[in-house]
Chain A
Amino acid sequence: MNGFGLQDSIIRSLSDAGYRRSAANPALHIASVESLNRAARFLARRYYVSRVGRFYQKTGQLSHVSGRIPARALQGRDVDPILDAAVLGSRETAESIAACVDKALTREDAEIVARIPYWRELVRYDSSYFLAEARSQRPVSEMPLANPDALTIDFDWDLFRELGHSGEQGIPEIPRQKTTLVFCCDSKGAVSVTRPTDVAMQLMALADGTRSLVALAEAVNYPQQRTDALVDCLRKAGALL
């Protein structure tokens, strides 16, 4: 194997615990297991601290009230087993990280909930936002197919809005109103949150990779041109593949 192949194996070793541990990993010939593990844990922690900081926005915005900063959940040694087994960017690792952060944000949170009644909903919102960026293996389909990584989540509070308008004690006022939101990631890695229309919800439910655009328009009883445009929009956002 030439130098470039070895360098590739190092990069893969540092981002994929399964590959790092495999006996066939060429990087093990040029770097010690201990140094690879150390560097991988370092990179994984920075990778997820950065993402939790970026995606746990709404809970982060209220840290002055809750006293809880989401990314702090990843600073302790108790997270090491997750980091040591991480495949950076994978849905599985993201789920473990989200569970860890969510647990830290909701542990003994009665006082926080008393002040911020939608606190737990906020945690679910941020958690979904964070998870949407992580991908499993995306299937390929010529016909419209719902993205298995997109998350459709029902909330009891209308969290679609910005937390801009603060009420008493600096806590934003959010209407208690059932809301369904879709969290998805486009092909370039940009995550978006949308409040889908009924037709969009139906399209996502029906797009199983076997129905053509014509069949979908018929199934949802919607004009063909507008169905095409809506599917195109959902594809661009990453809700459909």
Chain B
Amino acid sequence: MRLGVFYHPQLARQTLALAGKLRLIAVTSAPAEDDAAFAEIRAKFTFSLHYWLGGYRESLPEEALLRLEEMAALLRPEWVVERIESCEMSDGGRRLEEPLAPLYTQDSLEQFCRFAGRVRRRVTAPLAWENVPGYLPARGAEMREGEFIRRLLKQTGSKLALNLPAIWVSAHHANCTPMEYLEEFPLEETGILQVAGMEQNLDLGGPWISPSPPSDEMLTLMEFVTERTPKLQVILLDACFAELPPPAFAEGVERITLKARFASA
């Protein structure tokens, strides 16, 4: 098991300084041309590619898939991670900029399976699926999220990128604890585990991910999960916030390192 972080150019120097502790970098977009530090990052770390194409749309633009291919060719990622989200209307009419969970129906499951096939035809790296925060409780689902994910992993031969902050949010809006919410999740198929700080969001009237180190409660949940995830390879600190101050970033790495048992570099 190794420790990784989401890449942010503003934190490149801090990331490089922590190269002894960090082993993997999660990348969400192509590096900017003026990102001088990225060549060094590329030389020192392995990658996971979180491109988040959005699996809901049937008519995924060819150019989006080409960009995914290009990114995979550049980074040779250990994983390609896609979110189980549906932020865009099926006709492409409107797109939300924050993740939105799909309705967990059989139709939706089949759509994500078709999407996985399209991704697999473009990249060779293993595919992992990331859960998203369920901040909008809705009726109309045919199965619970955990069951949906279990079926999706089985039908697509993929692993789970378990986003614990998202679980935290979903559990709050489902009126249960994060541990209870995880009961139906296929934790044994978890390859990547994401942790982050949390704060109260006044608009949602509940928790949301914050640019802060993970709390003791989050780290306790992380321990609970790691005891149940024999195939876990990476714990990721979700630092993909521009506003995460470097000291908080370093503190986050330190707090996770103290709690988890990582393989030596």
Contacts and interface: CB of A to CB of B under 8 A. Distances in A.
Interface of A: 2-4, 6-8, 10-12, 14-16, 27, 29-32, 35-36, 38-39, 41-43, 45-47, 50, 77, 88
B94 A12 contact: yes
B203 A8 contact: no
A38 B103 contact: no
Contact of A11 (B87, B111, B137, B204): B87
A6 B103 contact: yes
Given A38-B205, A39-B204, A42-B201, A31 B139 contact: yes
Given A30-B139, A38-B205, A7 B102 contact: yes
A7 B202 CA distance: 25
Interface string B188-209: 0000000000000111110010
Interface residues of B, number: 33
A42 B203 contact: yes
Contact of A15 (B96, B107, B137): B96
B201 A3 contact: no
Contact residues of A: prevailing secondary structure: helix
Contact residues of B: prevailing secondary structure: loop
B136 interface: yes
A2 B107 contact: yes
B265 interface: no
B73 interface: no
B139 A46 contact: no
B224 to A, nearest CB: 28
A27 B136 CA distance: 11
Most interface-central of A7, A8, A42 (chain B CB within 10 A): A7
Contact of B107 (A4, A32, A39, A42): A4
B135 A42 contact: yes
B107 to A, nearest CB: 5
A42 B90 contact: no
B69 interface: no
12 contacts: A2-B107, A4-B90, A4-B108, A7-B108, A8-B91, A10-B136, A15-B94, A31-B136, A35-B138, A42-B203, A46-B97, A46-B98
Contact of B98 (A4, A31, A32, A43): A43
Contacts of B94: 11-12, 15-16, 88
Closest 6 CB pairs of A and B: A42-B203, A30-B140, A3-B105, A31-B138, A39-B136, A8-B89
Nearest to A37: B203
Nearest to B95: A11
B90 A8 contact: yes
A12 to B, nearest CB: 6
B89 to A, nearest CB: 5
Contacts of A41: 203
A14 B100 contact: yes
Interface string B61-94: 0000000000000000000000000111111011
B47 interface: no
Nearest to A26: B140
A76 B184 CA distance: 39
B6 interface: no
Nearest to B142: A3
A69 to B, nearest CB: 11
A77 B97 CA distance: 22
Nearest to B89: A8
B168 interface: no
Interface in B94-124: 94-98, 100, 102-103, 105, 107-108, 111
Most interface-central of A4, A14, A16 (chain B CB within 10 A): A4
A116 to B, nearest CB: 24
Contacts of A36: 136
Given A7-B103, A10-B138, A12-B94, 20 more contacts: A3-B105, A3-B140, A4-B56, A8-B93, A10-B136, A11-B87, A11-B96, A14-B100, A14-B136, A15-B96, A30-B139, A30-B140, A31-B136, A32-B137, A35-B136, A38-B203, A42-B98, A42-B135, A50-B97, A88-B94
B89 A11 contact: yes
Most interface-central of A11, A15, A32, A45 (chain B CB within 10 A): A11
Contact of B97 (A8, A29, A38, A47): A47
A10 B136 CA distance: 9
Contacts of A3: 103, 105, 107-108, 140
Contacts of B201: 42
Contact of A12 (B89, B98, B102, B137): B89
A77 B202 CA distance: 9
B205 A43 contact: no
A148 to B, nearest CB: 21
